[in-house]
Amino acid sequence: MFGYILLVFLVSYFPIVINQTPIVNIQWVTIAAFLQFGLYFEILLTQMAVLFMLVRLNLGKGDSYRFPMNSLMFFFISLCSGLVYFAVGGNTSDMQFSSLIGPIIIYQISLFLFNELFLVVAQWYTGRKRKLFGEDVVWDIIGSLVSLPLGLSLYYLIQEIGSGAFLLLGVPFVCVSYLLTMYKSSEDVNKILQKAADIGHDLTERLRVEEVLSTFITRIVETIPGAEAYIYDVKQGEFLLLEFSSDATRLPRAIQHENSWEIFKQVSESKSPMLVKNNEIKDHELKKENWKNLMVVPIIRSQKVEGILLLTTYKRSGFKKYEVMIADILASYLGVAIQNARNYEKTKRNSERCGLTGLYNFRFFENFIELEMALLKDGKRQNLSLILLDIDHFKQINDTYGHQAGNEILIDLSRRLQNFIGKKGTVARFGGEEFVVLLPDFEKNEAVELAEQFRLSLESEPFPVHDTMVAPLNDRVYITASFGVSSAFLDSDDETALVRNADRALYVGAKQKGRNKVASYSRG
């Protein structure tokens, strides 16, 4: 009996994982044990095999249900198959091959059918789907075809040569299982490396930092099953949480560098990934989550640690070595992708924004007004109004206080105008001391009223100027502005007319009539 137990232990130590399911072919051993010692010992041996296999897999607390479920399932498979064997006339003390072969074939078929039945029920119960002729079923069929001749060979060899049979059949089988396990592992690594390359290409296609982070988090938890992911940015002496996976436990969003977790410091200094087990975690914030293992990976760009990738898992088996390698590769891709996205956003921002005021520039506004006019024509907007304003006597301000003071006023006015308009519309610098506001779904009278409110606030609150040619430091200057308003399709049929008519109202209706006024354009 000891030989059977030892062989079952060795076979259970090298499971083959198919579709994330460990497969251990012990049936050939239990067939021989069943024929030699009967159903009771076969059930006992199968239960030992289940225990050996689950201990070998180092299942976490989330998988603790699997031991009682598998134990119960294999108990009924053994019991039902054994009863079928006896029902068709099988006898465990029968040594005659001719009288044994029929019942044992039926017994093997029963094992396969009951195994499939209980697996379908178990996987349905746990929310997983099992295909009728999937890859795992094919492996079960192959295993059953191999098990019967091997089991009969072991049974008859034991009768002939005793314990030596375990060496003659057991050693080759264990070696083949080990080779298949290694082959499967190398195959998994190759697949994940290809997946990592695909993720790298996917990241480079993202042009916004938010998209890069979101894509990376989604893809890495798919690539490393059972992991929760966090990305921290290293910025001005702090680790700032940028993104985390949807099922992740929330960790602090900001950690002062001097109070940062010890593992973050070590990884930042070594610039190398680090694996940490639960009993090695010193930081209270991390330890209290009861993770079994942590993986901390530096995000490096130009030989500098720009961020930290933190992966956590509740699996007792932790992270595999090749998963650390994959995470390190992906972190390198992430560092490059974030930098590229930031460069793109900066370039885009510079091309769309005024360098002085930070408002949208005229180039952006031209494209934006075309889009809004198209929405109006399609019936997706009810109205579209435009306000054009020009600072009165701005040349005198420049001549008196200097261009630097004039720039300060432009910056301050831009800030006030942007805060005043808020989400009601879009503000842009039209050129020089002119500004434009586009107001979707605003009627003309509403736009005129809005312009008048801003005109009053503008004339009543002075502008501080700090860099002047003749005035004392921290002087305060009062300014006014003239406004022109137009509205489509009330007085303008397209975007060009909308701007031109507001400009006419500004100069004819406001500037020429004394300035510091709001004027609206009327047809005819």
Instruction: Determine the number of helices (DSSP H) and then strands (DSSP E) in the chain.
Output: 17, 15
Are 150 and 21 found together in one domain? Answer: yes
Are 158 and 255 found together in one domain? Answer: no
Q: Is 228 a domain residue?
A: yes
pLDDT score of 483 more than 80: yes
Are 218 and 169 found together in one domain? Answer: no
Q: What is the mean pLDDT of residues 6-23?
A: 66
Task: Kindly state the tokens that stand for 318.
Answer: 């932790």
> What is the DSSP pairing of strand 463-465 with strand 434-440?
unpaired
Q: Is 199 a domain residue?
A: no
Q: Is 194 a domain residue?
A: no
Give the end of a domain, one of 301, 326, 349: 349
Are 381 and 304 found together in one domain? Answer: no
DSSP 179-226: HHHHHHHHHHHHHHHHHHHHHHHHHHT--SHHHHHHHHHHHHHHHSTT
Whichever domain contains 309, its CATH number is 3.30.450.40
Q: Is 308 a domain residue?
A: yes
Are 328 and 408 found together in one domain? Answer: no
Tabulate helix, strand, coil % of the chain (nearest 5). 60, 15, 25
Whichever domain contains 44, its CATH number is 1.10.1760
Contacts of 452 (CB under 8 A, 6+ apart): 483, 518
452 is catalytic: no
Q: Match 């090749």 to its residue by tokens.
A: 322
Are 285 and 417 found together in one domain? Answer: no
* Total number of domains in the chain: 3
Q: Is 328 a domain residue?
A: yes
Catalytic residue among 228, 372, 433, 495: 433
Residue 228 CA, distance from chain mean position: 9
Q: Match 């956003």 to its residue by tokens.
A: 345
Contact 49, 8 (CB under 8 A): yes
In the predicted model, what is the mean pLDDT of the chain? 82
Q: Identify the pLDDT of residue 436.
A: 96
Are 315 and 376 found together in one domain? Answer: no
Are 153 and 224 found together in one domain? Answer: no
pLDDT score of 503 more than 70: yes
pTM (predicted TM-score): 0.54
Q: Is 356 a domain residue?
A: no
Domain of residue 310, residue span: 205-349
Are 253 and 385 found together in one domain? Answer: no
Task: Kindly state the tokens that stand for 330.
Answer: 């992906």
Secondary structure of 365-397 in HEC code, one letter for each residue:
HHHHHHHHHHHHHCCCCCCEEEEEEEECCHHHH
Q: Is 407 a domain residue?
A: yes
Are 307 and 411 found together in one domain? Answer: no
Q: pLDDT of 266-301, one tens digit each?
A: 888 888 898 888 777 666 666 666 777 889 999 988
Q: Is 197 a domain residue?
A: no
Give the end of a domain, one of 349, 372, 391: 349
Are 326 and 370 found together in one domain? Answer: no
Are 32 and 177 found together in one domain? Answer: yes
Whichever domain contains 457, its CATH number is 3.30.70.270
Q: pLDDT of 23-75, one tens digit each?
A: 667 787 888 888 888 888 888 888 888 887 777 666 555 566 667 777 888 88
Q: What is the helix (H) or strand (E) element at residue 229, kind and residue range?
A: strand 227-235
Q: pLDDT of 160-196, one tens digit each?
A: 888 888 777 877 777 766 666 666 666 666 777 777 8
